[in-house]
Amino acid sequence: MIEKIVQWAGGLLALTVLGIILFGVWRGTRHQAGREVGLGASWLRSRQFYLVTSLMFIGIAHLGWTPLPWNISLAGRRWMLAIGSLLYFPGMLILLWGRLTLGRNYFVSTGFGAQLFKDHQLITSGPYAIVRHPMYAGLILAALGGLLIYATWTTVYFACFAPFMLVRARREEQVLVKEFGEQWVEYSQRVPAFIPRVRKERHD
């Protein structure tokens, strides 16, 4: 019973976050394009690109939504559910926090290209004061947690795909340093990419 509640809650949260992200993508296609890097940056404003990627996403999710052939004890399954929840739900909330903090500056990117807006702003508040890529950090946590909660071939795929967010982050940083120059350099030196720094308190 608890497992079903966790799975339903996780699914509802995922759909909510996905809806907010898709709204941001739709709104971003209506903004005037600014600086870009990569060969595929122009795809980001193509309806065909989103149609193809959406169909691929839905197809993979549907075809792979079968349980993994794991033979796990009841106690083991409870541990998986607990650890998965501690990864998945905070990860999704971090992802949502990052998306909402970006506001009108949010737009999608790929490992091939990234594009800013004409009036793009560098956001360094909220989760971006802790790490430079909170959305990707949250997504990686959520993907690993989702694998433990749902244990399907689909979640295996998403967990394996999550590290490729590092490639997307690198592509985004290329365009950000071109756009913001020293402001970005100072920010990147002060704030880590994915893992927050543990700062020791100084005692005088």
Spell out the residues 6+ positions from residue 113 whose beta carbon is closer than 8 angstroms to its own. Answer: 36, 37, 38, 39, 40, 41, 42, 43, 44, 171
Q: Tokens at residue 6, please? A: 């966790």
Residues 22-57 have pLDDT tens digits of: 999 989 888 888 888 887 677 788 878 888 888 988
- CA 66 – CA 189 distance, rounded (Å): 44
Decide if 170 is inside a domain. yes
Range of the domain at 38: 2-190
Decide if 163 is inside a domain. yes
Decide if 202 is inside a domain. no
Structurally, the chain folds into a number of domains equal to 1
Decide if 89 is inside a domain. yes
pLDDT number for residue 200? 56
A 10 A CB-CB count for 56 gives: 10
Is pLDDT larger for residue 62 or for residue 102? 102
Beta bridge partners of 36: 115
Decide if 200 is inside a domain. no
Q: Is the pLDDT of residue 161 over 90?
A: no
Decide if 196 is inside a domain. no
Question: Which pLDDT band, with edges at 50, 70 and 90, does 204 fall under?
Answer: very low
Q: Is the pLDDT of residue 2 over 90?
A: no
Decide if 198 is inside a domain. no
Q: Is the pLDDT of residue 189 over 60?
A: yes
Decide if 201 is inside a domain. no
pTM of the model: 0.90
CATH number, domain with residue 12: 1.20.120.1630
The region of weakest confidence among 41-45, 131-135, 141-145 is: 41-45
Tally of residues, the chain:
204
- How far, CA to CA in Å, does 128 sit from each of 27, 43, 94? 21, 26, 11
* Residue 177 near residue 158 (C-beta atoms within 8 A): no
